[in-house]
Structure 1
């Protein structure tokens, strides 16, 4: 077999097994860009070019993944259907619409002309994907308790993101519509997840990083609620402090989590940390206080370090030619796997 044929087969194999969960990297990069965008205006550190560069990287990664996954849909539709029918991978499909919504939030200040189309496509797509996920939940014949993990929050988190750009674009009632869906499903899913963690087997090693997703719903919910309500009231305080407490608790789990091999699921650390960082910056902006300043600065440093490390580890793993799919296990800890 010639070298050219081997290279073609390798590219085809990688495309065939490209996971939908790769879009979580766009969420992480976009979240970091938003954190720096807020940090520049609230903490008066660095300059706007930092968030602009990160946002451009997020947009580039999104377009690249969109092209690659579009090719997978065209060339390997059976593998896409397999991911959709998978009890864990299913919940990463809304990461595509969430990425669009996050890019629309970034575009409000950076590329205003793009904010509206990104929002329209993102919100519409997310509603469709949320309905598809719900349909799968309500009509399944294969879900088991062991399949339940914090990644199931991803569809709900997307809903509470809508007000962050929807209000600025004039869609007040639509923003409330999505916010209500997200908050109610967060409450229900949080209860189920706690039951799964307490009374059933621990999450498998490769899914353990998804515990950080527990931070995202209350943190993003706080940000959207403050936009909708117009001030930091009692409900906003509850959402923020719960997100902060979950962050503190999960930081205590880091030593155990860091002993695990590198999986693509490690990107689950990024967006939730970015969300609670932006929430802390908002608290400092609205209320002031030394404590919020310190918390914001520390979290901004942590999320920047985490995302930088994730980018490096991911590029190294890709460079080694390791599988991006759990169905094709790699032989070293640099493998890219979701579950």
Structure 2
């Protein structure tokens, strides 16, 4: 068999190491789209900026999805290697969550397309949740060091479903996913905090995943308001939990940002987007000026984070540091 050489060899090598974690970029940009859209609604602005970010995010999702599909076809063993990896397997639902987020962002633009994206994302999320949780409780043995906040992604990712599911009319189905997500948030929160407090610190590449602690209560708040129709006591509990984790993570950011760049840094983006959207949603439902100002401040931070991540990702691509063996 003829071996690829030159540029072809480089291309094949890059494709083989194309990481599933790359879909965290879409989660971050989708979150930015929804956060900017929420800000535009609060301040009575036109949706020009959010339309632009939305279009860029959809285009990038298509490119990244085609790249990973090509990897699936040409290097199925490499894909299975990621699936069996105790940390990387948690990032596979980033694909379904990206679809759910794009469905939510599409809702005000094209309801039929939004429903199409939501159904695919919802079905894929259901399958991946069962597959990942089955893998966790199977005969395979996991070590404490394998656990990280990234484990929230597969199971707690279910709370994304009601955000677009309720407006689309899938009320009872949304309650199913909300229930699964909340139960696993409680279970995993206990496990992750035990890991962080009583065991060795997270490895450098996983340090940015600490920011994921913000996302479950922030997204659960958004889903609860969709399901319940108003900001009640439980919704207040959720958003204030999100604020606590935001403050906790803010104290860790200076240390995290000094670490060498990796794609895992994109874990910084969506959680900040989620708490930003939650703040604007609280303000829109209660008229709270304080939460409107908090949302505006968080949106500024989110914009700086994503701009910085885009620049650092571009530099890493030019330096050939993306899609390389770890």
2:64 corresponds to 1:79: no
Segment of structure 1 superposing worse, 311-320 or 284-293:
284-293
Rounded to whole Å, the distance in 1 between the matches of 2:198 and 2:20 is 30
Give the match's secondary structure for 2:5. helix
State how 1:129-148 maps to structure 2 within 5 Å.
129-148=128-147
In the TM superposition, residue 324 of structure 1 has moved relative to its aligned partner by: 2.5
The residue aligned with 1:39 is: 39
In the TM superposition, residue 120 of structure 1 has moved relative to its aligned partner by: 0.9
C-alpha deviations, 1:244-303, integer Å up to 9, x for none?
111011111111111111111100000000000000001111122332122011001111
State how 1:217-236 maps to structure 2 within 5 Å.
217-236=216-235
C-alpha deviations, 1:218-252, integer Å up to 9, x for none?
00000000110111111000000000111011111
Give the match's secondary structure for 1:279. helix
4+ runs of 1 displaced by more than 4 Å? none
In the TM superposition, residue 113 of structure 1 has moved relative to its aligned partner by: 2.5
Rounded to whole Å, the distance in 1 between the matches of 2:193 and 2:41 is 37
Rounded to whole Å, the distance in 1 between the matches of 2:273 and 2:74 is 35
CA contact (8 A) 2:15 2:323 kept: no
* TM-score normalised by structure 1 residue count: 0.93
Segment of structure 1 superposing worse, 75-84 or 292-301:
292-301
In the TM superposition, residue 53 of structure 1 has moved relative to its aligned partner by: 1.1
Segment of structure 1 superposing worse, 188-197 or 50-59:
50-59
In the TM superposition, residue 60 of structure 1 has moved relative to its aligned partner by: 1.2
Rounded to whole Å, the distance in 1 between the matches of 2:110 and 2:49 is 15
In the TM superposition, residue 140 of structure 1 has moved relative to its aligned partner by: 4.2
Rounded to whole Å, the distance in 2 between the matches of 1:290 and 1:120 is 36
The residue aligned with 1:320 is: 319
Is there any run of 5+ residues in structure 1 with no aligned partner, and where? Answer: 329-339
The residue aligned with 1:299 is: 298
The residue aligned with 1:337 is: none
CA contact (8 A) 2:156 2:184 kept: no
Rounded to whole Å, the distance in 1 between the matches of 2:54 and 2:65 is 16
2:171 corresponds to 1:169: no
In the TM superposition, residue 12 of structure 1 has moved relative to its aligned partner by: 0.5
Rounded to whole Å, the distance in 1 between the matches of 2:260 and 2:10 is 24
The residue aligned with 1:274 is: 273
CA contact (8 A) 2:18 2:68 kept: yes
State how 1:195-214 maps to structure 2 within 5 Å.
195-214=194-213
C-alpha deviations, 1:144-183, integer Å up to 9, x for none?
0000000000013321010111111110000000000001
Give the match's secondary structure for 1:252. helix
Rounded to whole Å, the distance in 1 between the matches of 2:322 and 2:120 is 31
2:86 corresponds to 1:94: no
C-alpha deviations, 1:95-149, integer Å up to 9, x for none?
0000110011011012323111101111001100001001100114231000000
The residue aligned with 1:56 is: 55
Give the match's secondary structure for 2:231. coil
* TM-score normalised by structure 2 residue count: 0.97
CA contact (8 A) 1:105 1:165 kept: yes
Say how many residue pairs are matched.
323
Rounded to whole Å, the distance in 1 between the matches of 2:43 and 2:298 is 12
Is there any run of 5+ residues in structure 2 with no aligned partner, and where? Answer: none
Rounded to whole Å, the distance in 1 between the matches of 2:236 and 2:99 is 28
Rounded to whole Å, the distance in 1 between the matches of 2:309 and 2:155 is 24
Rounded to whole Å, the distance in 1 between the matches of 2:107 and 2:289 is 29
Rounded to whole Å, the distance in 1 between the matches of 2:106 and 2:146 is 36
